């Protein structure tokens, strides 16, 4: 057995599937939905603007812990299924990337990047209004914003439906029929098990709650220093006071003499170090190796005049963007193509290795208590959602024939194929696969001229990622019907909350501004990268084609395949290949370094001291840390909102 297989085996068998399934939706779930909408969503938005990170796991654990403590004091019990539903509800607020939010839309249409790339004048009204008088009001509750908000709600609604039902269908195929193990699923369920055992008073494994509490205490202290202090001081003073730099300290200008073209610095987010402890060790080691290689490669590229856009004096953001334009954009496409090919071949090979006699050729058995539905309803749901996506996109794009051909390609070929491949890889090794830049390539080949195509609700999804969630629901004995009932109740609550609090937070201060350090530091960089791609479908010259170099794509693809071949020959873990590709993809090294430190501490200190138990301890400790940091951040953000609201009163 290879080292990678041994590491994956450590994640298998941590939990067994229960004999019965319970409905986790209850009155407490509805109250939990209101709590998520009124407390967690504004906190998630605010933290993303300040530090570039959502509340993520913090929101989930804060919600669950709070309701468990309330239940204890009310002499009530919450089952594992009810805890899982609360956990799921809080996790549903994990936001999109900045480029998919309505707050980013108002920035993009006013940004220097959009103007310089010729994108600003081409942005459609259903993306964001361009009238300066409308934008100056800093509120989404205006008639001019209705088309953009309508498309936002449409996209969210159908995304919830198709990801829930199609992810479930792939889970039944890969788990019930193909019997794949899903080695990473028990990790997310371990914290729920710990909380459930504590609530039920089970004393056979008291370490769970103790480890969770230790992580929570560390999170409380760090969360106040890292996020709470800047949020509070930014309210009272003209600038935020930070004991630790957000989002990172930039050393690029100090190292440029001996590391030209290299972005250097360090993130002081303790959460990144803990993530390094939780993630598979060899994947993190691979990422660090990739960063070291880029530290060596960039000065060589600079000496060879392959980084002409980089000049001394540029900071991290400028260095990353310019080296991306000159080399890593094309090189990264090639690397990603190699990884995608490796993933597809791996899935096909493992599928052939499986004894075909073990596969059931008919529909799997319906488990009534688990809440299963028949295959025909899965197919009907998919066709309904696909028709909605294609119909809306066709209407917005005036039924451009090339674009419509792309829609059908995604709906009936790419999305089903890649979703199934990802579902199998998730079931076998906890990996996700995508063909890189497929969207960019198909949009360019469509022949459409303009930027509206980039904001269409296209049927390009990867439903295979959702299979791990359903495996976790199964491991905790949660009926799938209760998951779907939660979606129905939660959707309108979340949508209203996101729009209302986004508008309110925007009204407090311009975004970006010093009040929100991450946006001031990184959003222009993200806008430049986005507009570089959007410009590829404009008339005339586009910097996209200057950045896209076939020879560099080929070099990246060759490097990726050679790396995989070498790793296979020497017997190195395949997970390391994925990590190296991540590090070589012009990633931000400032977070990979603390990831690596955390991985070393976990592997060579804690695991040696605690043995295999460390693999059980660390996900629970991680959950406690993010719970503690989220709790203190929510408290400070609540104070900020209270102070801001009071200062706006007319008396």
Could you report the per-residue pLDDT of 255-288, keeping only the tens digit for each?
A: 888 888 888 888 888 888 888 888 778 878 888 8
pLDDT number for residue 542 = 65
For the segment 646-650, the average pLDDT, to the nearest whole number, is 51
- Lowest mean pLDDT: which of 33-42, 44-53, 187-196, 357-366? 357-366
Q: What is the pLDDT of residue 289?
A: 87
Q: Which of 11-20, 312-321, 329-338 has the lowest mean pLDDT?
A: 11-20
pLDDT in tens, 130-141: 888 888 888 899
**Alpha carbon distance 595, 284 (integer Å):** 7
Burial bucket for residue 648 (CB in 10 Å: 0-12, 13-18, 19+): exposed
**pLDDT-based confidence at residue 390 (cuts at 50, 70, 90):** very high
Confidence of residue 522 (pLDDT cuts 50, 70, 90): confident
The winner for highest mean pLDDT among 198-207, 480-489, 572-581 is 480-489
Please write down the long-range contacts of 2-5, taking CB distance under 8 Å and 24 or more positions apart: 2/571, 2/573, 2/574, 3/282, 3/571, 3/572, 3/573, 4/280, 4/282, 4/429, 4/573, 4/574, 4/575, 4/576
CB 17 within 8 A of CB 57: no
- Provide the token pair at 85: 């539903």
What lies within 8 Å, CB to CB, of 165 at 6+ separation is 377, 378, 381, 382
On the CB side of 202, CA atoms within 13 Å amount to: 14
| The predicted structure's pLDDT at residue 404 | 92
pLDDT band at residue 651 under the 50/70/90 scheme: very low
> Do residues 83 and 189 make contact, with C-beta atoms less than 8 angstroms apart?
no
Rg (CA), the chain: 25
Query: Left (φ > 0), alpha (ψ -120 to 50) or beta: where does 182 sit?
Result: left
Angle between helices 270-278 and 589-601 (to 10 degrees): 60
Helix (H, G, I), strand (E, B) or coil at 308: coil
**What is the per-residue pLDDT for 89?**
75
Its pTM stands at: 0.70
- pLDDT for 145: 92
Q: Average pLDDT of 354-381? A: 66
Rounded to whole angstroms, how far apart are CA atoms 215 and 211? 6
Q: Please state the separation of Cα 633 from the chain's center in Å.
A: 20
Beta bridge partners of 606: none
Would you state the pLDDT for residue 358?
45
Looking up tokens 């290879």 gives 2
Tell which residue, 460, 381, 26, has the closest CA to residue 168. 381
How many domains would you assign to the chain?
1
Interatomic CA distance for residues 41 and 490, integer angstroms? 12
Residue 324 has pLDDT above 90, yes or no: no
Pair 129, 135: CB distance under 8 Å: yes
Instruction: Give the count of alpha carbons within 13 A of 555, CB side only.
Output: 12
The pLDDT value recorded for residue 384 is 92
Phi/psi of residue 589, each to 5°?
Answer: -70, -20
Q: What is the pLDDT of residues 212-252, one digit of tens each?
A: 788 888 988 888 888 778 777 776 766 667 788 777 888 88
Structure-token pair, residue 352: 């052939």
Q: Would the pLDDT of 556 be above 80?
A: yes
Q: Report helix, strand and coil shares of the chain as percent, to nearest 5.
A: 70, 0, 25
Torsion over CA: 363, 458, 160, 179 (sign): positive
Q: Give the pLDDT of residue 52.
A: 66
How far apart CA 625 and CA 281 sit, in angstroms, is 20
Residue 342 has pLDDT above 60, yes or no: yes
The larger pLDDT score, comparing residue 110 to residue 58, is at 110
Question: In terms of residue numbers, what domain contains 32?
Answer: 3-647
| Residues above pLDDT 90, as percent of the chain | 5
| Greater model confidence, 147 or 84 | 147
Residue 136: CB partners within 8 Å, gap ≥ 6? none
Task: Tell me which of 32-36, 73-77, 300-304 is least confident.
Answer: 73-77
269 Cα distance to chain centroid:
17
Q: Which helix (H) or strand (E) holds 249?
A: strand 249-250
């Amino acid at each position: 057995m290879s080292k990678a297989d041994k590491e994956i085996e450590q994640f298998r068998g941590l939990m067994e599937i229960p004999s019965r399934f319970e409905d986790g939706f209850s009155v407490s779930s509805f109250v939990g939905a209101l709590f998520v909408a009124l407390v967690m969503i504004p906190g998630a938005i605010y933290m993303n603007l300040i530090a570039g990170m959502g509340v993520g796991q913090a929101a989930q654990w804060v919600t669950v812990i709070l309701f468990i403590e309330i239940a204890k004091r009310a002499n009530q019990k919450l089952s594992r299924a009810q805890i899982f539903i609360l956990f799921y509800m809080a996790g549903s607020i994990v936001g999109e990337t900045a480029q998919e939010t309505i707050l980013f839309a108002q920035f993009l249409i006013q940004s220097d990047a959009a103007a310089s790339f010729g994108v600003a004048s081409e942005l459609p009204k259903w993306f964001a209004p361009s009238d300066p008088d409308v934008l100056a009001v800093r509120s989404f509750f205006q008639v001019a914003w209705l088309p953009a908000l309508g498309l936002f709600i449409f996209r969210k609604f159908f995304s919830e439906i198709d990801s829930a039902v199609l992810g479930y269908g792939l889970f039944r195929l890969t788990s019930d029929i193909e019997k794949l193990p899903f080695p990473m699923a028990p990790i997310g369920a371990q914290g729920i098990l710990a909380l459930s055992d504590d609530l039920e008073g089970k004393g056979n494994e008291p370490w769970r709650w103790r480890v969770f509490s230790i992580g929570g205490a560390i999170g409380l202290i760090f969360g106040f220093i890292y996020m709470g202090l800047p949020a509070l001081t930014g309210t009272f003073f003209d600038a935020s006071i930070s004991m630790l730099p957000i989002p990172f300290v930039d050393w690029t200008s100090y190292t440029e003499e001996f590391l030209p073209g290299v972005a250097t610095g360090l993130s002081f987010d303790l959460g990144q170090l803990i993530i390094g402890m939780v993630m598979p060790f060899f994947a993190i080691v691979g990422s660090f190796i990739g960063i070291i290689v880029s530290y060596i490669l960039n000065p060589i590229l600079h000496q060879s005049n392959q980084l002409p856009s980089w000049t001394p004096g540029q900071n991290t953001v400028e260095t990353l963007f310019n080296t991306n334009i000159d080399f890593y954009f094309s090189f990264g496409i090639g690397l990603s193509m190699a990884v995608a090919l490796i993933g597809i071949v791996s899935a096909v090979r493992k599928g052939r290795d499986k004894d075909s006699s073990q596969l059931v050729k008919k529909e799997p058995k319906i488990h009534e208590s688990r809440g299963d539905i028949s295959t025909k309803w899965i197919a009907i749901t998919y066709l309904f959602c696909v028709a909605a996506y294609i119909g809306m996109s066709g209407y917005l794009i005036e039924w451009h024939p090339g674009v419509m051909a792309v829609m059908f390609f995604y709906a009936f070929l790419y999305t089903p194929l890649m979703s199934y491949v990802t579902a199998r890889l998730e079931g076998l090794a906890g990996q996700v696969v995508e063909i890189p830049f497929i969207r960019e390539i198909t949009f360019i080949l469509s022949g459409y001229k303009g930027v509206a195509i980039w904001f269409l609700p296209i049927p390009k999804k990867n439903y295979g990622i959702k299979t791990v969630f359903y495996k976790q629901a199964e491991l905790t004995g949660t009926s799938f019907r209760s998951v779907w009932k939660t979606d129905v109740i939660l959707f309108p609550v979340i949508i209203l909350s996101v729009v209302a609090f986004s508008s309110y937070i925007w009204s407090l201060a311009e975004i970006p501004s010093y009040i929100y350090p991450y946006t001031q530091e990184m959003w222009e960089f993200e806008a430049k990268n986005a507009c570089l791609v959007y410009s590829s479908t404009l008339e005339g010259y586009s910097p996209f084609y200057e950045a896209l170099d076939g020879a560099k794509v080929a070099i990246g693809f060759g490097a990726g395949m050679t790396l995989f071949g070498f790793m296979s020959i020497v017997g190195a873990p395949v997970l390391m290949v994925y990590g190296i590709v991540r590090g070589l993809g012009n990633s931000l090294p400032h977070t990979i370094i603390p990831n690596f430190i955390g991985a070393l501490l976990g592997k060579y200190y804690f695991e040696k001291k605690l043995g295999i138990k460390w693999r059980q301890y660390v996900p629970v400790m991680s959950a406690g840390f993010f719970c503690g940091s989220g709790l203190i951040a929510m408290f400070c953000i609540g104070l900020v909102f209270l102070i801001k609201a009071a200062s706006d009163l007319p008396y």
